Structure 1
Amino acid sequence: MQKKISFVIPCYASEHTISLVVQEIITTMDDLQQYSWELVLVNDCSPDNTFEVIRNLCISNPNIIGINLARNFGQHAALMAGFNQVSGDIIVCMDDDEQTPGNEVGKLLEKIEEGYDVAYARYVSKKHSIFRNIGSRINSKMTEFLLDKPKDLYISSYFAIRRYIVDEMVKYDHSFPYVIGLVLRSTKNIANVDVTHRERQEGSSGYSIQKLLSLWMNGFTAFSVKPLRLASLLGLILAAVGFISTIILVLNKLAHPSEVMLGWSSTMAVMMLIGGVLLIVLGIIGEYIGRIYICINKSPQYIIREKVQGKKSSESLF
């Protein structure tokens, strides 16, 4: 029986590139005739005419589905919106900016056919900006520590994944989805595939420092309690240091009762250090509590304004 491949592509400010990405996928899938395919394009409330381009693509090809989100929810929420629309046996996620090579999707599919649950593209030579590369390295180290990602596993936005893993991922209905965390908690049967990485042809990365920090916070507060444990450990260390310092001061005073002990500057420095640590710990705890509160209030992962398939268009709220 012919397997079906579902492509999911989050789109943001890509009115000039998404058509080229789609055409490359169509050309590639024409060569991979052992598979049928569909393509889900999720417009994350782009400020340009991206969704109009998507609408025209849907009209020209019945295998393409267009989803228009009501506001900007972020890449991972857009992926979750796409996952809830797919019908394929294998789902392939990629970017909308031509940097991910759609013509090499066969390599990912071959790795899935070997028995792996997920196949992540690993770029031989990355063409991202220095800022994006630094952010990727930080993210990799943090996921190793907080989410138990294997050290030799490279995570990217271009990957293929089996349907049963996606079915498990969409059960997560809380407000802050983090696809990497959902994958790692579902399976460890993951492989890397070497592919090329292209230069960006237009525009710049949509990830600012603020968005990267927000994304990291989503993952680490939703899928790990290690930040809380680190806060507790830091508190124990400071308490131990404070206790030992007090013992030393008492013993010093007993040994030299006539010595005048001055320490205004050092006292203020210690107070500021401890106060800063306390505020950081309270901030971490507050972040967890705030996200629990938002989840209890059923804040949606995404809201679909419009869905287009062929010449049909419908408006929905989820």
Structure 2
Amino acid sequence: MKKISIMIPCYNEEENIKPITEAVVEMMVHELPQYDYELLFIDNCSQDRTREYIRELCSENPKVKAIFNVTNFGQFNSPFYGMCQTSGDCTVVLCCDFQDPVELIPRFVEEWENGYRIVSGIKTSSKENRLVYWIRSAYYKVIRNMSEVEMIEHFTGFGLYDASFIKLLRELKDPLPFLRGIVAEYGFKRKDIEYEQPRRRAGKTKNNFYTLYDAAMLSITSYTKVGLRIATFLGFVSSIICFVIAIVYLVLKLLHWNEMVMGMAPIAIGVFLIGSIQLFFIGLLGEYILNINKRVMNRPLVVEEERINFEE
């Protein structure tokens, strides 16, 4: 009997833990009874009653497993690590807040049985804020055009992954894993399933400006060279323009020494313009260096505090 692993990362999801467990178990029992399953929660150090509820679920059903992290290791490390701890013939990753429809799992499994190694859920529309969705769309298009790897638009990680892909993830030993980029980069046979993203069932979203910025910078520094190339070309073009302006200014001043009084305004504008450009690209260069620094240190993805229902 084949085994399906369902991996759900969570952080402060006390209102959704029990309903998502009931939905997944009911779906597996009634719609996919020919498969064995495990349901793995990886908790990123929740501060509410999430862990208490997970313990209850684990005591009631031995197929429900849990990993508790000692602290919050971020939105990328924890889910990636959880995927690497699954033991099924395939692994389904979905969010705890019901924005990833549980009812799509049988469709994923069907396509997996048809030979696809990865079945990814692609948002074609969303019931979230329209402005946020538009910003996300613009971001995906920019990254797709900048990256050497063909990035997948509106793919959040929701999908099914064959055990062969999970094996690859374990072998990567990447201290800064970006799942969306890895899926696009390694080219496993993939099937895209479109869906409309519903609203959160309960609770507040954990995404904010910082987490979205962190995701954007990770994708840019891990999969693009465009930022540094733009800095190089813009610096070269700016230096040529400044040199030409300086020559023109010198010639005009020599020809019209007494009449031409330009003052300090052109110099101040030029200094602030060049300074702002330099500051921007120094910050971008710092993001690349930070990315390199974290990879060189090679710290563990997460540190576990406790495991429940895992065989020794």
Query: Do the two structures share a fold, i.e. TM-score over 0.5?
Result: yes
Q: Which moved more, 1:268-277 or 1:119-128?
A: 119-128
Judged with a 3 Å threshold, the aligned counterparts in structure 2 of structure 1 residues 37 and 101 are, in CA distance, closer, same or farther, namely same
- Deviation per CA, 1:70-112, whole angstroms, max 9, x where unpaired? 1111221111221221111221111101222112211222233
Aligned residue number for residue 27 of structure 1: 26
Q: Which moved more, 1:74-83 or 1:141-150?
A: 141-150
Aligned residue number for residue 228 of structure 2: 228
Question: 1:136: Cα distance to partner?
Answer: 2.2
**Superposed counterparts of 1:1-318, under 5 Å:** 2-30=1-29, 31-130=31-130, 132-148=132-148, 150=150, 153-187=153-187, 189-253=189-253, 256=256, 258-309=258-309
Provide the rounded CA distance (Å) in 2 between the counterparts of 1:122 and 1:94: 13
Provide the rounded CA distance (Å) in 1 between the counterparts of 2:189 and 2:257: 67
Judged with a 3 Å threshold, the aligned counterparts in structure 2 of structure 1 residues 258 and 189 are, in CA distance, closer, same or farther, namely farther
Judged with a 3 Å threshold, the aligned counterparts in structure 2 of structure 1 residues 77 and 116 are, in CA distance, closer, same or farther, namely same
Alpha carbons 1:20, 1:98 under 8 Å: kept: no
Alpha carbons 1:122, 1:192 under 8 Å: kept: yes
Judged with a 3 Å threshold, the aligned counterparts in structure 2 of structure 1 residues 256 and 152 are, in CA distance, closer, same or farther, namely same
Alpha carbons 1:92, 1:159 under 8 Å: kept: yes
Q: Percent identity?
A: 26
Judged with a 3 Å threshold, the aligned counterparts in structure 2 of structure 1 residues 257 and 124 are, in CA distance, closer, same or farther, namely closer
Provide the rounded CA distance (Å) in 2 between the counterparts of 1:299 and 1:134: 35
Task: Tell me the TM-score normalised to structure 2 length.
Answer: 0.89
Question: 1:152: Cα distance to partner?
Answer: 7.2
Which residue type is aligned with residue 5 of structure 1? I
Provide the rounded CA distance (Å) in 2 between the counterparts of 1:250 and 1:110: 74
Structure 1 gap ranges (5+): none
Which residue type is aligned with residue 123 of structure 2? Y
Provide the rounded CA distance (Å) in 2 between the counterparts of 1:207 and 1:280: 25
Provide the rounded CA distance (Å) in 1 between the counterparts of 2:196 and 2:134: 19
Provide the rounded CA distance (Å) in 2 between the counterparts of 1:88 and 1:265: 68
- Deviation per CA, 1:168-216, whole angstroms, max 9, x where unpaired? 2233334322111222221164332123432322222101101111122
Judged with a 3 Å threshold, the aligned counterparts in structure 2 of structure 1 residues 132 and 308 are, in CA distance, closer, same or farther, namely farther
Judged with a 3 Å threshold, the aligned counterparts in structure 2 of structure 1 residues 248 and 34 are, in CA distance, closer, same or farther, namely farther
- Where 2:191 maps in the other structure, the secondary structure is strand
Provide the rounded CA distance (Å) in 2 between the counterparts of 1:261 and 1:165: 69
Which residue type is aligned with residue 244 of structure 1? V
- Where 2:62 maps in the other structure, the secondary structure is coil
Alpha carbons 1:120, 1:154 under 8 Å: kept: no
- Where 1:170 maps in the other structure, the secondary structure is helix
Alpha carbons 1:95, 1:157 under 8 Å: kept: no
Q: Where in structure 1 do 4 or more consecutive aligned residues deviate above 6 Å? A: none
Which residue type is aligned with residue 309 of structure 1? N
Q: Which moved more, 1:184-193 or 1:15-24?
A: 184-193
Question: 1:223: Cα distance to partner?
Answer: 3.1
Judged with a 3 Å threshold, the aligned counterparts in structure 2 of structure 1 residues 302 and 134 are, in CA distance, closer, same or farther, namely farther
- Where 1:156 maps in the other structure, the secondary structure is strand
Paired residues in the alignment total 311
Q: Which moved more, 1:81-90 or 1:234-243?
A: 234-243
Question: 1:3: Cα distance to partner?
Answer: 2.6
Judged with a 3 Å threshold, the aligned counterparts in structure 2 of structure 1 residues 170 and 243 are, in CA distance, closer, same or farther, namely farther
- Where 1:66 maps in the other structure, the secondary structure is strand
Structure 2 gap ranges (5+): none
Judged with a 3 Å threshold, the aligned counterparts in structure 2 of structure 1 residues 113 and 270 are, in CA distance, closer, same or farther, namely farther
